[in-house]
Amino acid sequence: MATAAAGALGLLWGWLWSERFWMPQNVSWADFEGPGDGYGYPQARHILSVFPLAAGVFSVRLLFERFIAKPCALHVGIQDSGPYPSQQPNAILEKVFISITKYPDEKRLEGLSKQLDWDVRKIQCWFRHRRNQDKPPTLTKFCESMWRFTFYLCIFCYGIRFLWSSPWFWDTRQCWHSYPRQPLTSGLYYYYVMELAFYWSLMFSQFTDIKRKDFLIMFVHHLATIGLITFSYINNMVRVGTLVMCLHDASDFLLEAAKLANYAKYQRLCDTLFVIFSAVFMVTRLGIYPFWILNTTLFESWEMIGPYPSWWLFNGLLLILQVLHVIWSYLIARIAFKALIRGKVSKDDRSDVESSSEEEDVTTNTKGPCDSSSSNGANRVNGHMGGSYWAEE
C-alpha cells in the first residue's frame, strides 16, 4: 500500500515538473543549472525565500500603520473614535439581525412593532445602531489604504526606474530573445520577490483586515496573482512579467489615494483622483495591456519560440485577466460617469465595498433622534455635499 502511494506521488511529482510541460522543445531543467550572469537563472526553490519576506512585509505594515499612517490620519482630522457604543440588547431583534436580515423591510418592521409593542421608528433606530456596532472606524480604513498606497507608489516607481534601462521595455521582442536562457539580474530578482512577498502578505492580512463584501473575489484575485507571478518566474517569463506587474501598479496607487482623500473628507480631491484613476485604468487595462502585453505574449512569442503546453496556460491566464479588466472597467466607468454628472463619487463598485459600512437609505424627510449624525449637514466639505461616500458603502 505504501509502495503504491509512493509510486502515485512520484508520478504526480514527475508530471508537475515535466520538462515537456514547462519548457520549449530541446530545453531541460539542466540548462538552468549553470551560473549564467548576475543571479543566475530562476529556480523554483527561490520562491521559498518569499515566505519569510512576506512575514517581514506584514510586520513593517503594522509598524507603518501605527507610527506613520495613524499620526497622518489624526493630522487631517480623522478621529480615533474607537468602537461604537453598545445598543440596547433585545433578543428578538438580535435574532432577526443575525439570522434573517440587517435591513428589515416595511412589512417586517410592522410585524416586529406589534410583537414588541415598539414604535417602528424605534426599531429602525435599533437596527441602524446595531449595524454601526460592526462598522470599522474610519481611522482603521485610512491606515490600511495608506499602507497600500505607499507600497504601490514605491513599487511602481521602482518598476519604472528598472524598466527604463531594460531593452524589453522599448522593444518587447527582447522578452523572447534567447528565451528561456535569460539570466536574472539583481534588479529583476528584487522586483519579482518584493511583488510576490507583498501579495502573500495580503493573503495573510485579508483575514484580519476589514471584512468586505468582495472578500472571496479578492481572495481569488490574490491567489491568481500569486499564481501568475510564481508561474512566470519558474518558467523564466520574467521579462514580460515585469511589464505586466508595472502596468497594473500604474493605477492601483491612484485608487488608494482617492480612498485616502475620501476618508479625510476632501471630497473634491477624492472625485478628481478617482476620475484620473479611471482614465489611467482604462488606458492601461483596455489599451496598453491588450495591444502591448498580449500582442507580445501571443504573437511575437509564437513567432520567435513557438507554443508549448505552459505557453498555452500562461496566455490563457492573461486572457482571463483581460476579461476581468473589461468587467472592472465597466463598473469603474459607471462610477466615474456619476462623479462627473453629480459632482461627486457616489460608490465604489470595484474593490472597496464594505459590508460593515453600509447605511440605511433615508426614506423620510422627518428627522428623528437617530438622524443627528446623517441629517445635520455635517457632511458638507470643500463647498459641496459629500454625504454619499463611495468607498464606505
**DSSP 3-state assignment of 381?**
strand
On whether residue 382 sits in a domain, the answer given is no
Same domain, 189 and 118: no
On whether residue 384 sits in a domain, the answer given is no
On whether residue 154 sits in a domain, the answer given is yes
Q: How many domains does the chain contain in total?
A: 2
Residue 52, class by beta-carbon neighbours within 10 Å (0-12 exposed, 13-18 middle, 19+ buried)? exposed
- Predicted confidence at residue 355, as pLDDT, reads 40
- Predicted confidence at residue 22, as pLDDT, reads 84
**pLDDT by residue for the chain (393 residues), tens digit each?**
667 667 666 666 666 678 788 888 878 877 777 655 556 888 888 888 899 999 999 999 999 999 999 999 999 988 876 555 556 788 888 888 788 887 888 888 888 888 888 888 888 888 787 777 767 788 888 999 999 999 999 999 999 999 999 999 999 999 999 888 888 888 999 999 999 999 999 888 887 776 666 677 778 778 888 989 999 998 899 999 999 999 999 999 999 999 999 999 998 899 889 889 999 999 999 999 999 999 999 999 999 999 988 899 899 989 988 988 998 899 888 887 776 777 655 544 444 434 433 443 433 433 444 443 333 333 333 333 233 334 433
Same domain, 241 and 171: yes
Same domain, 109 and 232: no
On whether residue 8 sits in a domain, the answer given is no
Question: What CATH number did the domain enclosing 96 receive?
Answer: 1.10.10.60
> What's this model's pTM, rounded to 2 decimal places?
0.76
DSSP tag of 98: H
Same domain, 147 and 124: no
Alpha helices by DSSP H, listed for the chain, are 2-16, 19-22, 50-64, 70-75, 91-99, 106-116, 120-133, 138-164, 167-170, 186-205, 215-234, 238-263, 267-282, 294-295, 301-304, 309-342
Q: Which residues pair with 385 in a beta bridge?
A: 380
Which residues, in sequence order, are CB contacts of 1 under 8 Å at separation 6+? Answer: none
On whether residue 2 sits in a domain, the answer given is no
- Predicted confidence at residue 345, as pLDDT, reads 55
Same domain, 250 and 103: no
Same domain, 261 and 297: yes
On whether residue 355 sits in a domain, the answer given is no
On whether residue 362 sits in a domain, the answer given is no
* Domain housing 329: 36-75+137-342
Same domain, 122 and 182: no
- Predicted confidence at residue 269, as pLDDT, reads 93
Give me 116's grid cell: 414588541
Judge if the upstream peptide bond of residue 180 is cis by omega within 30 degrees of 0.
yes
On whether residue 367 sits in a domain, the answer given is no
Which residues, in sequence order, are CB contacts of 253 under 8 Å at separation 6+? Answer: 148, 149, 152, 153, 156
**CA 102, 215, 65, 374 torsion: positive or negative?**
negative
